[in-house]
Amino acid sequence: MNQINLFLAGDSTMATYDVKRAPQMGWGQVLDQYFNEQVKVWNEAMPGRSTKTFIQEGRQKRIYQLIRPDDYLFVQFGHNDSKVDSNRYTEPFTTYKENLGIFISNARDKGAFPVLLTPVQRRNFSINGKIVDKHGNYPLAMRDLAIELSVPLIDITKRSTIMLENIGPELSKHLYMWIKPGDYKYYPDGKEDNTHFTELGANKIAQLVIEGIKDLRLPIAKFIK
């Protein structure tokens, strides 16, 4: 059986980081360890990218050139599409959906399987321990598009919200880049980051993705360890 390639297109929450940036990791960086040798993960995610800049920089073109029939393309954007600057911003129900449509049509054109993933939730708790969503209409727009184009969708926004509320405000700090001064060379002054993950957090999100694959009964699920 031919090896299946799983391409990842997304932003900093999915990206791969150099060891000097430890303990920061994106969930795409650890995803390969959940599959057997039949699946090869190509993590093309890059920090700071929106659907708009990812396409403009030719990153989606690179995936299009490499992807083959029966491969997969997992697409997760939203964090940077909401940034109100001319370079990255997309409007949820128009340009955001249009750009996601390019990823979908490119994958299908090559006989591959596109899968949409709503953006990972930020660690942003209210005083009563509930997550305050900051993604606006981007998850909703992606859900709508998944229905319109019959694309499988893993709702990581919902899944990570439930996970974070179950873990709670304090323990969830271990999943994100809450670093004490002096603990890591790259962060001498420490850091309090509610968007990006430690190795533990990256694995927690990767596990939610794996659960989503199983729940959708995608054919690639049979290669999960």
Give the residue numbers annotated as catalytic, written as ranges.
12, 192, 196
Contacts of 29 (CB under 8 A, 6+ apart): 15, 16, 17, 43, 202
48 three-class SS: coil
* Phi, psi of 100, rounded to the nearest 5 degrees: -60, -35
Tell whether the torsion through CA atoms of 97, 101, 159 and 31 is positive or negative. negative
Q: 132-171 burial, b if ≥16 CB within 10 A, otherwise e?
A: eeebeebbebbbebbeeeebbbbbbbebbbebbeeeeeee
Number of helices followed by number of strands (H, E) in the chain: 7, 7
Joined tokens for residue 95: 């340009």
